[in-house]
Amino acid sequence: MGTRRARVSVIYFISKLNEWDALLMEKIKNSAKAEIKKAAHSLMDGYLVAFPTETVYGLGADAANEKAVSRIYDVKGRPANHPLIVHISSINKLEKWAVDVPEYAIKLAKEFWPGPLTLILNRNKIAKDFITGGQDKVGLRVPNQITALLLLQEFEKLGGLGVAAPSANKFGAVSPTCAEAVIDELGGVMDSKDLILDGGKCEIGIESTIVDCTQEHPRILRPGWVTKNMIEESSDKKVSPRLETEQIRVPGQLEKHYKPKARIQLGFPNEVNVGFIALSNFKTPDSVIRLASPKDSHSYASELYAAFRLGDAQGLSKIFVIAPEGDGIAVAIRDRLVRCVTY
Ligand code: TXA
Ligand code: MG
Q: What is the mean pLDDT of residues 306-317?
A: 96
**Which of 51, 171, 250, 304 best tests ligand 1's pocket when mutated (most atoms within 8 Å of CB)?**
250
Q: What is the mean pLDDT of residues 329-335?
A: 96
Nearest listed ligand to the Cα of residue 210: 1
Determine whether the shortest distance from the Cβ of 132 to ligand 1 is under 6 A: yes
Q: What is the mean pLDDT of residues 106-112?
A: 98
Q: Is the peptide bond before 285 cis (omega within 30 degrees of 0)?
A: no
Residue-wise pLDDT tens digits, 165-209: 999 999 989 999 999 999 999 988 998 899 999 999 999 999 999
Helix H or strand E segment including 158: none
Determine whether the shortest distance from the Cβ of 139 to ligand 1 is under 6 A: yes
Residue-wise pLDDT tens digits, 94-106: 999 999 999 999 9
| Residue 235 contacts residue 218 (beta carbons within 8 Å) | yes
Nearest listed ligand to the Cα of residue 173: 2
Cα(117) to ligand 1 centroid in Å equals 10
**pLDDT in the model for residue 69:** 97
Phi, psi of 104 (to 5 degrees): -65, -30
Q: Which of 211, 208, 206 is nearest to 115 (CA)?
A: 208
**Alpha helical stretches, state H, the chain:** 22-44, 66-76, 94-97, 103-112, 129-132, 146-157, 179-186, 228-235, 297-313, 329-340
User: Is 8 a residue whose pLDDT tops 60?
Assistant: no
Q: What is the mean pLDDT of residues 235-239?
A: 97
User: Is 16 a residue whose pLDDT tops 90?
Assistant: no
Q: Which of 260, 186, 215, 145 is nearest to 3 (CA)?
A: 186
User: Is 33 a residue whose pLDDT tops 70?
Assistant: yes
User: Is 54 a residue whose pLDDT tops 50?
Assistant: yes
Nearest listed ligand to the Cα of residue 81: 1
Cα(283) to ligand 1 centroid in Å equals 36
Write the residue with the smallest CA distance to atom 21 of ligand 1.
250
Q: Which of 69, 59, 76, 151 is nearest to 114 (CA)?
A: 151
**pLDDT in the model for residue 29:** 74
**pLDDT in the model for residue 7:** 45
Cα(30) to ligand 2 centroid in Å equals 32
Query: Residue 218 burial by CB count (10 A; 0-12/13-18/19+): exposed, middle or buried?
Result: buried
Residue with more model confidence, 292 or 243: 292
**pLDDT in the model for residue 249:** 52
Q: CA 283, CA 18: separation in Å to the nearest integer?
A: 41
**Which of 210, 221, 329 best tests ligand 1's pocket when mutated (most atoms within 8 Å of CB)?**
210
Q: CA 38, CA 160: separation in Å to the nearest integer?
A: 14
Question: For all residues of the chain together, what is the average pLDDT?
Answer: 90
Cα(249) to ligand 1 centroid in Å equals 10
**pLDDT in the model for residue 99:** 98
**pLDDT in the model for residue 175:** 96
Nearest listed ligand to the Cα of residue 131: 1
Cα(251) to ligand 2 centroid in Å equals 8
**Which of 84, 119, 213 best tests ligand 1's pocket when mutated (most atoms within 8 Å of CB)?**
84
pLDDT class of 31 with cuts at 50, 70, 90: confident
Q: Relative to the CA of 208, which ligand 1 atom is closest? A: 1
Q: CA 63, CA 164: separation in Å to the nearest integer?
A: 5
Helix (H, G, I), strand (E, B) or coil at 186: helix
pLDDT class of 250 with cuts at 50, 70, 90: low
Determine whether the shortest distance from the Cβ of 207 to ligand 1 is under 6 A: yes
**pLDDT in the model for residue 15:** 46
Determine whether the shortest distance from the Cβ of 262 to ligand 1 is under 6 A: no
Cα(84) to ligand 2 centroid in Å equals 9
Helix (H, G, I), strand (E, B) or coil at 110: helix
Q: Relative to the CA of 135, which ligand 1 atom is closest? A: 29
pTM of the predicted model over 0.75: yes
Q: What is the mean pLDDT of residues 56-72?
A: 97
Q: CA 311, CA 90: separation in Å to the nearest integer?
A: 38
User: Is 79 a residue whose pLDDT tops 50?
Assistant: yes
Q: What is the DSSP string of 278-335?
A: --TTSPPPTT-EEEE--SSHHHHHHHHHHHHHHHHHTT-SEEEE-PPPSSTHHHHHHH
**pLDDT in the model for residue 20:** 56
Determine whether the shortest distance from the Cβ of 211 to ligand 1 is under 6 A: no
Amino acid at 294: P
User: Is 117 a residue whose pLDDT tops 80?
Assistant: yes
